[in-house]
Chain A
Amino acid sequence: MSLLDRETPGVVMTPDNIRTKKLPVVADLGIALGALVVAAAVVLGFGIGNWVLVIFLGAVFYLVGLNFAAGAVEGKRAARNRMWRAAIYAACVLAIIPLVSVVWTLVTKGAARLDGDFFGSSMNNIGARDPNGGAYHAILGTLEQVGLAALMAVPLGVLGAIYLVEYGKGRFALTVRFFVDVMTGIPSIVAGLFVLSFWVLIVSPWFNDGTPQFSGFAASLALTVLMLPTIVRSTEEMLRLVPGPLREGAYALGVPQWKTILRIVLPTALPGIVTGIMLSIARAAGETAPVLLVAGATAAINGDPFAGPQSSLAVFVYQQAGDASRYAPDRAWTAALTLVALVLILTIAAKLLARRNRLSK
């Protein structure tokens, strides 16, 4: 039945009856309030829960009530539209609560040990009853391991991306590309086990009179495995954004391809590449599992990443979280705050750099 058939003869088309009817905002708010009251009455009346259940049931009642009210006034389709919008907004609110809680706890609990001693001393000779002790050794370890990993992963990753964009052709390049993507998903603990079975158990005895040795370098090898695919992917994306005419202009001037890549393509894409590298460094700095397996986690300060066990900030957090001392939780939270600050500073700097990147706009 078309609109024309439905039109009753007595009705005159006025702006009032040809415009879609809308549920007034007051009705919307009224339904919300009513739903909350009903939910509170049900929950508290029967004594089956506390205010969390009230809010949850209230939300459900609101959605149902809204559906009916809007359905009566606006029609079925508009009612469904409203309901989904409310559900989508609710999803946002629901997700924000735990995330705010994480940040809040981190700041309030982390402030407890935010003193010079924490950043200036190690956990060496700190017993269960000692309230002091710090994370200097862990911060040092994190910086050295991540730095070494970056030294290995960045050239390898950028060169790999250059291969994929500039040189790679055919099935083989596609295969490499596919496995770079697959490698992005390798769990960090598997990377740790790989370095454990390859470097710590097989290679390191050669340098250490036949006994396996944990070291910061082993940790940076594991971090390299984790950083490599992300660097390749982000660099590749940036290189592909470099306009083709730039390359062709260089070729036309007789510049060889390798020189074109090094002097034209890379500098053009540099801000984007640096962004990707910084993001992957931030990810690596927060990795716990591989470092836990291969670095050996000592309580003492060890500045030499190639010999002897080392700690890292993330491992320090994990160890203090499992420590029975009543001072350990404070140390764990302060170390967590330090770690998050380090990671977030790197990430935010990378994102700000990305904003200034002309290519990705």
Chain B
Amino acid sequence: MGDNPSRSASTEAGGSGVTARHARPAGDGVSPIPPDDRPDNRPPLGGGGALPTKSRFSMETGFRGLSTAAGVMVLVIIAAIAVFLISKAAPALTANDANFLTTKEWFPNDTPPVFGIAALAFGTVLSSVIALLIAVPIAMGIALFLSHYAPKRLATPLGFIIDLLAAVPSVVFGLWGRDVFSEPVKDFSVWLNKYFSWIPLFGGEGPFGRSILLGSLVLAIMVLPIVTSLSREVFQQTPGMNEEAALALGATKWEMIRTAVLPYGKPGVIASVMLGLGRALGETIALALTLGTTFVISFNLIQSGGNSIAANIANTFGEANETGRGALIASGLVLFAITLVVNMAARAIIYRRREFRDSAA
């Protein structure tokens, strides 16, 4: 502010428009009479009243309004997503000849259109849950390794690499899953089928390969970095006092982790798992490239097939007519609702623990 040397003499100085926190003009306390009550509206002797009163429209109100509008915009966007999806989905849903929630087939482009979300929603939830069952224990292991086992010189670059992997686009994982990973998974599926076909999960006659198992494994590899980096942060925040107290009482390292680190990190870990779940539920391209696209409800993991809401949108959007588009939007609405519930639950858990509010997520 060196451009205004006569600042203290200027009428701008200490303008009462400073902030809400400084609602009263500077030096107000000197003046015996509040400025508004003075009959002749002359500046009092104290000098404080010489300061300008708050103008009706200033940069302050303008800037405050602008930033508030930006904050409100978030709510507007979320509401708009719901409103526009519903408005475009409704015509297709009324034209639908079958029950949307219980039908498994997906023929929205036929006349009359017949389509339902049952098989898609089932496939979405099944692949995500399996992905998390695989990813979470491994992610916990890596997070504990990075926060408590690895020497610092190893932990820092390794954590950096994990963060980088979280940034790799999903289409790359999808391409890798289809071109490279499907071969070993196919061999593994054949092996599972040979020895464990008495378990319904691994039964079937084949063909194997582009199955729920492949999709879930690719998803697991994708959510691994996210769950790892969030839980690592939570584990690192464990108060050193708690850890040292456990060790001082004679706990082994694992007992220290079990009694001090894990209970402290539990809400953060649950939240990170649910965020990973939200990510897995909404994953599109990786599943569109790896799943075998069938519309059945089956717990068989290794036979080619499987589908998910998002993958179905990406796969069939190209040839959809107007009703088909509406049907896809309706399925997107279901996905939106599922992820909204999962995310809100995760956030509610985070918010319950104030410590995590500003750091863990």
Q: Does A111 interact with chain B (Cβ within 8 Å)? A: no
A to B CB contacts below 8 Å, 17 in the list: A48-B195, A95-B141, A99-B221, A160-B70, A173-B71, A176-B75, A181-B343, A185-B282, A190-B85, A193-B313, A193-B329, A196-B325, A197-B329, A198-B80, A228-B77, A253-B1, A336-B171
5 A-B pairs with least C-beta separation:
A187-B282, A91-B141, A286-B169, A159-B70, A185-B343
Query: What distance in Å separates the Cβ of A43 from its nearest Cβ neighbour in chain B?
Result: 11
Query: What distance in Å separates the Cβ of A106 from its nearest Cβ neighbour in chain B?
Result: 7
Q: Does A204 interact with chain B (Cβ within 8 Å)? A: no
Out of B71, B170, B253, B335, which one reaches A286, CB within 8 Å? B170
Q: Does A150 interact with chain B (Cβ within 8 Å)? A: no
Asked whether, in the complex, the Cβ of A183 is within 8 Å of the Cβ of B141, the reply is no
Q: Does B137 interact with chain A (Cβ within 8 Å)? A: yes
- A287: which B residues are within 8 A, CB to CB? 169
A39 to B310, CA, bound (A): 42
Query: What distance in Å separates the Cβ of A149 from its nearest Cβ neighbour in chain B?
Result: 14
Q: Does A348 interact with chain B (Cβ within 8 Å)? A: yes
Asked whether, in the complex, the Cβ of A314 is within 8 Å of the Cβ of B282, the reply is no
Which stretch, B10-18, B33-41, B93-101, B198-206, touches the partner chain A? B10-18
Chain A 266-295 per-residue mask, 1 if CB under 8 angstroms from chain B, else 0: 000000000000010011011111001100
Kindly report which residue of chain B lies nearest to residue A94, judged by CB atoms. Answer: B138
**A residues 92-118 touching B (CB-CB < 8 Å):** 92, 94-95, 98-99, 101-102, 105-106, 109
Chain B 278-310 per-residue mask, 1 if CB under 8 angstroms from chain A, else 0: 110111110011000000000000000000001
Given contacts A49-B191, A173-B71, A321-B175, contact A99 B167 (CB under 8 A): no
Q: Does B122 interact with chain A (Cβ within 8 Å)? A: no
Find the residue from B17, B139, B167, B339 having the highest chain A CB count within 10 A.
B167
A102 to B339, CA, bound (A): 28
Asked whether, in the complex, the Cβ of B181 is within 8 Å of the Cβ of A159, the reply is no
Chain B 253-296 per-residue mask, 1 if CB under 8 angstroms from chain A, else 0: 11101000000000000000001001101111100110000000
Asked whether, in the complex, the Cβ of A167 is within 8 Å of the Cβ of B68, the reply is yes
Q: Does B72 interact with chain A (Cβ within 8 Å)? A: yes
Which stretch, A28-36, A302-310, A339-347, touches the partner chain B? A339-347
Given contacts A77-B255, A189-B332, A344-B167, contact A179 B78 (CB under 8 A): yes
A77 to B351, CA, bound (A): 36
Given contacts A91-B145, A288-B169, contact A197 B87 (CB under 8 A): yes
A317 to B171, CA, bound (A): 7
A293 to B328, CA, bound (A): 11
- Given A347-B163, A347-B164, 15 further pairs, Cβ under 8 A: A81-B252, A89-B145, A99-B165, A102-B176, A106-B172, A182-B343, A182-B344, A187-B282, A193-B332, A251-B19, A258-B63, A286-B169, A314-B171, A343-B169, A351-B160
Q: Does B50 interact with chain A (Cβ within 8 Å)? A: no
A286 to B341, CA, bound (A): 26
- B339: which A residues are within 8 A, CB to CB? 185-187, 190
Query: What distance in Å separates the Cβ of A99 from its nearest Cβ neighbour in chain B?
Result: 6
Asked whether, in the complex, the Cβ of B85 is within 8 Å of the Cβ of A347, the reply is no
Q: Count contacts on A: residues with CB < 8 A to the other chain.
A: 103
Q: Does A333 interact with chain B (Cβ within 8 Å)? A: yes
- B355: which A residues are within 8 A, CB to CB? none
- B191: which A residues are within 8 A, CB to CB? 49, 53
Chain A 107-134 per-residue mask, 1 if CB under 8 angstroms from chain B, else 0: 0010000000000000000000000000
Q: Does B30 interact with chain A (Cβ within 8 Å)? A: no
Q: Does B248 interact with chain A (Cβ within 8 Å)? A: no
**B residues 193-222 touching A (CB-CB < 8 Å):** 195, 221
Q: Does B340 interact with chain A (Cβ within 8 Å)? A: yes
Q: Does B74 interact with chain A (Cβ within 8 Å)? A: yes
Kindly report which residue of chain B lies nearest to residue A283, judged by CB atoms. Answer: B167
Q: Does A27 interact with chain B (Cβ within 8 Å)? A: no
A254 to B328, CA, bound (A): 57
- B68: which A residues are within 8 A, CB to CB? 163, 167-168
Number of residue pairs across A and B with beta carbons under 8 Å? 290
- B141: which A residues are within 8 A, CB to CB? 87-88, 90-92, 95
Q: Does A201 interact with chain B (Cβ within 8 Å)? A: yes
**B residues 222-262 touching A (CB-CB < 8 Å):** 224, 252-255, 257
Given contacts A91-B141, A178-B351, contact A336 B60 (CB under 8 A): no
A274 to B152, CA, bound (A): 27
Asked whether, in the complex, the Cβ of A106 is within 8 Å of the Cβ of B176, the reply is yes
A198 to B346, CA, bound (A): 29
Q: Does B107 interact with chain A (Cβ within 8 Å)? A: no
Out of A85, A175, A254, which one reaches B254, CB within 8 Å? A85
Out of B19, B77, B140, which one reaches A257, CB within 8 Å? B19
Q: Does B66 interact with chain A (Cβ within 8 Å)? A: yes
Q: Does B21 interact with chain A (Cβ within 8 Å)? A: yes
Asked whether, in the complex, the Cβ of A89 is within 8 Å of the Cβ of B149, the reply is yes
Out of A84, A156, A173, which one reaches B73, CB within 8 Å? A156
Find the residue from A105, A194, A198, A229 having the highest chain B CB count within 10 A.
A194
Q: Does A180 interact with chain B (Cβ within 8 Å)? A: yes
Asked whether, in the complex, the Cβ of B59 is within 8 Å of the Cβ of A256, the reply is yes
Query: What distance in Å separates the Cβ of B236 from its nearest Cβ neighbour in chain A?
Result: 14
Q: Does A78 interact with chain B (Cβ within 8 Å)? A: yes
Q: Does B342 interact with chain A (Cβ within 8 Å)? A: yes
Asked whether, in the complex, the Cβ of A84 is within 8 Å of the Cβ of B282, the reply is no
Find the residue from A189, A253, A292 having the highest chain B CB count within 10 A.
A189
Given contacts A95-B142, A160-B73, A261-B63, contact A190 B336 (CB under 8 A): yes
- A157: which B residues are within 8 A, CB to CB? 70
Chain B 51-91 per-residue mask, 1 if CB under 8 angstroms from chain A, else 0: 00000001110111011111111110110110011011000
A292 to B328, CA, bound (A): 14
Given contacts A189-B314, A193-B328, A257-B18, contact A159 B66 (CB under 8 A): yes
Query: What distance in Å separates the Cβ of A151 from its nearest Cβ neighbour in chain B?
Result: 14
